[in-house]
Amino acid sequence: MTRITIDPITRIEGHLRIDCEVDGGKVTKAWSSGQMWRGIELILKGRDPRDAWIFTQRICGVCTTVHAITSVRAVENALNLEVPLNAQYIRNMIVAAHGVHDHIVHFYHLAALDWVDIVSALKGDPEGASKLGATLSDYKANSVPNIRSVRDKLQTFVDSGNLGVFASGYWGHPAMKLPPDVNLLAATHYIQALEVQRVANKIVTILGSKTPHIQNLAVGGVSNAINPDSQSTLTLERLYAIKALIDQLGDFVHNAMMNDVAAVGALYADWTQYGAGVTNYLSVPDLPLDTKGTTFELPGGYIPAGDLSKFQAINSYQDAFFRDGVKEAVKHSWYEYSGASAALHPYDGQTNPKYDDFNDDGKYSWIKAPTFQDKRAQVGPLANVLGMYAAGHEPTKRHLTKLVEVASKVAGTQIPLTALHSTIGRIAARAVRCAVLHEALQNQWQLLIDNIARGDTRTFNRPVFPKGEVRGFGYHEAPRGVLSHWVVIKDGKIDNYQAVVPSTWNASPRDQNDEPGPYEAALIDTPVADANLPLEVLRTVHSFDPCIACAVHMVDADKRPIVQVKAM
């Protein structure tokens, strides 16, 4: 038996350590450990709830926007405060554009290099790659000169010995299986995606006034003033500039990304058998279409044991099934609950650190272990896409069917929907969600334009804080899955604040009943060809898009190795 430790598995997003026991070429046991303590709760206590979002968007360097949005939703929920339609639409567009951005970056710049061999791409033939692209879509940027220029550029990088982002990838690893032409086509889109993600970011910047930290939120709405005639506000001119950016994004998402993901999925079909893990799926509805949050453009809910026929929808911002269903356990986390040994609801949540060592059978992570209806649950694009599919959401069905059709064509065999419960399934679902979000972004833009045309320019309702205690929760289907903030307000000040973030659900350690979290469960039976180069472990963990929301950033001047792999 071999023990592999990968520490950390991510850097900018925070420290995640994965330990695996490998026996007979397969993972037999796994531990996921968050190595940083997060204490936003302690910073917020006693502060004005109207300011909480400014602090929460500093929790994470990748998910700034999502923590800001969820925070204002939680405080609005506590106050029963309605949000003007324009404000909902503007927030929804920020949410959708951010999601599209995040999913593009995840696939091309985080996950793809686990599957696409850049060195092999150099052996690809631009004409072959272009022809291959043409069989999948009429995406114009798949021209021979475009692809040739990318290959020449990669060759220059490799020749200079300065691989940059491509340094120390797993090039030539036996688990890399794409033919050179496919690698070259994907590498071409990798480089195009760098430009495309700027387009998505521009939409967030125009609406949010600034990135990476948006400035336009307020408890009760947004601070964007709408006046079709004034230059300093959200003008029609700016709105039409956004429309042009949305159209530019769509060409890439629908014609390049969806096909790349389908092709990678088809050519790595064996990976549809690995990585299912926890198949209780939790997602929440998002993009509210009314002022109270009772109707949504995108549905969400709970699927127990992978059975879509048992889908239970979450219906509103007041939904008791969701509100009462969430708990967090600390039996295997470096915390202790005073006066309680069982899992606690977030309103009663406590953050009392109790660190000792990494104990395989005891405490081994700074991440708490959340449960839904006392069960482990997987969150993220796969949970969301399956939930929307089960709810009968037409655009989800259409985009998912299209992706499966393309993948089946490339594979030469019909791929069943059950293949989604896997490592590849998580990556495929993220592309489908990206396409759905892009369509939603177009819709939300139209809804905003139509509402302004009706003469409604309201963007803000003033919050009023009562004496005594009120509680609220806000949720958001973020790029990595369900994010919820829980706030207790006493006499207008924050008394307790808990954030249950997507990676808390997925990267968590064992729970109260010693049931493993989604990463841990998904790693079981993952094949490992070479314990010193555990590419397969990374594939499954990266398919969740890990982000540990602690956002430590520090430059190391002494050139210590940033990541260590130990195989013992």
Which residues does the annotation mark as catalytic?
A: 13, 60, 63, 67, 480, 503, 547, 550
Number of residues near other proteins (by CB under 8 A): 59
Residue of 427, 384, 391 lying closest to 522 (CA atoms)? 427
CA 183, 259, 432 angle in degrees (round to 5)?
Answer: 125
| Residue 217: its H or E element | strand 217-218
User: What's the burial of 183, exposed, middle or buried (CB within 10 Å: 0-12/13-18/19+)?
Assistant: buried
Query: Cα torsion at 95, 253, 118, 180 (round to 10°)?
Result: 160
- Segment 192 to 211, residues that bind other proteins, using CB under 8 A: 194-195, 197-198, 201-202, 205, 211
Residue selected from 144, 191, 267, 531 as contacting other proteins according to rule CB under 8 A: 191
Instruction: Work out whether 39 is an interface residue with other proteins (CB under 8 A).
Output: yes
| Region of 54-62, 77-85, 236-244, 297-305 interacting with other proteins (CB under 8 A) | 54-62
CA distances 526 to 4, 361, 369, 456, 509, Å, are: 13, 21, 23, 55, 18
Instruction: Quote the CA–CA distance of 302 and 83 in Å, as a whole number.
Output: 26
Interface of this chain with other proteins, residues 61 to 100, rule: CB under 8 A: 61-62, 64
Q: How far is the CB of 166 from other proteins (least distance, A)?
A: 6
Position among 138, 231, 559, 568 found at the interface with other proteins (CB under 8 A): 559
* Residue of 20, 59, 185, 537 interacting with other proteins (CB under 8 A): 59
Return the range that interacts with other proteins (CB under 8 A); candidates 36-44, 138-146, 286-294, 315-323: 36-44
Report in angstroms how near the CB of residue 557 gets to other proteins at its nearest.
Answer: 4
**Partners of 353 in beta bridges:** 335
Nearest distance from C-beta of residue 179 to other proteins, angstroms = 21
Examine residue 529 and tell whether it contacts other proteins (CB under 8 A).
no
* Binder of other proteins out of 1, 244, 464, 562 (CB under 8 A): 562
Scan residues 136-165 and list those touching other proteins (CB under 8 A): 153, 157, 162, 164-165
Alpha-carbon span 32 to 523, nearest angstrom: 10
For 61, the token pair is 């360097």
Contact yes or no for 53/72 (Cβ under 8 A): yes
Measured distance CA(426)–CA(382) in Å, rounded: 5
- Would you say 123 or 213 has its CB closer to other proteins? 213
Find the length of the chain: 568
Q: Is 434 in the site for other proteins (CB under 8 A)?
A: no
> Dihedral sign, CA of 499, 505, 506, 512?
positive
Which of 143, 158, 169, 313: binder of other proteins (CB under 8 A)? Answer: 169
Query: Where does this chain bind other proteins (CB under 8 A)?
Result: 10-12, 37, 39-40, 42-43, 55, 58-62, 64, 101, 105, 109-111, 113-114, 153, 157, 162, 164-169, 191, 194-195, 197-198, 201-202, 205, 211-213, 538, 542, 551-565
